[in-house]
Amino acid sequence: MKLVRLDISKAGVEISADIKKQTMEANALLHSGKGAGNDFLGWVHLPSSISEADIAAIEAEAAKLRAKADLIICIGIGGSYLGAKAVLEAMSNPFKLLHREQKQPTVVFAGQNISEDYIHELLEVSKEHSIAAIVISKSGTTTEPAIAFRLIKAEIEKRYGKQEAAERIVAITDQARGALKTLATQEGYPTFVIPDNVGGRFSVLTPVGLLPLAAAGIDIAALVRGAREMEQATAENVPFDENPAAIYAATRNLLYRDGKKVEILGSY
C-alpha cells in the first residue's frame, strides 16, 4: 500500500534544528497523553485500536442496509457527517449519479442545517427510492439532526411500519446515556458507539464514518489498513526527517507564524 507523500519544497520555509526539536517534543507530549486536552486523544492510536471484529460488525450492518435500501440518509452535523462526506467525495466517481444502473446505494446527508427546503426536497425525492437511515448524535438533542431525524423516522415508519423501520434505522450514539441512546433501546435499533475520547472532527475512523462509508460500498477494511500504516509512519519513535506528520506540522506552524493563516485542502 502506498502512503501519502509530503512535498514541502515549494512552501518557502526553512525548518531549523530548534523547530525540529520543538516539534518532536510536542509529538512526544501528544503520544504520552499528558498535555492539555488529553481526554480527547483517542484518535492518535485509533487505527490500531480498531479490531477485526469491529470492522466485521460494521460491514455486516452495512450489508443489511444495502439489501434493504438504495438510498441511505446519514443524519448528523459537523464531524458526525463531514468525515464520511469527505471520504465519499474523495473515493467515489464524481459522476456516479449519471450512471443509469447504480451498483451501490446512494448515501446522502441530512441534519446539517435547518433548511426546510432541503429536508422537503430530500423527502420528495426519497419517494422514488427504498430508504434507510443512519442517525449520528452523542446526545440526540442537537437541534438540526434531531429535527431531521424526527421527519425521516416518521417517513420510514409511515412507509414500512414500526417493526420494519427498526431494521432500516441504525443509531450511532453514546454507549450508555442520552436521548438517542434511550430511543434506540426502546425502538430496538441496531446501535454503534461514539467513543468518549474521540472528538467529532476526528471520528471518521469510528462507526461515525465507517458505517456510512461501508453502506456506500467503500472497502473500510482497506481504509483502516492504510490508516494503520500511516499511524506507524508517524509514530513517536519515527525521526523528524522521516515523519510526514511532524514535517507537515512544523511547516504549517511556520507558515502560520508568517501570517499565512488560511489553508485549502483538496483531493484530485
Tally the domains of the chain.
Answer: 1
Residue 2 reports pLDDT greater than 90: no
Range(s) of the domain holding residue 120: 46-218
Domain annotation covers residue 65: yes
Domain annotation covers residue 228: no
pLDDT for 94 equals 79
Domain annotation covers residue 78: yes
pLDDT for 107 equals 96
Q: Tell me the per-residue pLDDT of 112-171, one tens digit each, with 9 for 90 and over.
A: 999 999 999 999 999 999 999 999 999 899 999 999 999 999 999 999 999 999 999 999
pLDDT for 42 equals 92
Domain annotation covers residue 127: yes
Taking the CB of residue 76, how many other CB atoms lie within 10 A of it? 30
- Both ends of the chain: CA-CA distance in Å? 19
User: pTM for the full model?
Assistant: 0.92
pLDDT for 24 equals 96
Give the domain CATH number at 209.
3.40.50.10490
% of the chain at pLDDT higher than 90: 85
Residue 97 reports pLDDT greater than 80: no
pLDDT for 38 equals 85
Run of H or E including 72:
strand 71-75
Q: Give the Cα separation of 142 and 82 in Å (integer).
A: 16
| Average predicted confidence (pLDDT) for the chain | 94
Residue 1 reports pLDDT greater than 90: no
Domain annotation covers residue 214: yes
Q: Tell me the per-residue pLDDT of 165-210, one tens digit each, with 9 for 90 and over.
A: 999 999 999 999 999 999 999 999 999 999 999 988 899 999 999 9
Q: Which is nearest to 135 in space by CA: 195, 179, 177?
A: 179
Give 3's pLDDT tier (boundaries 50, 70, 90): confident
Partnered with residue 134 across adjacent β-strands are 74, 170
Domain annotation covers residue 179: yes
Q: Which is nearest to 172 in space by CA: 144, 141, 206?
A: 206
Domain annotation covers residue 233: no
Task: Take residue 264 and report the three cell numbers written for it.
Answer: 485549502
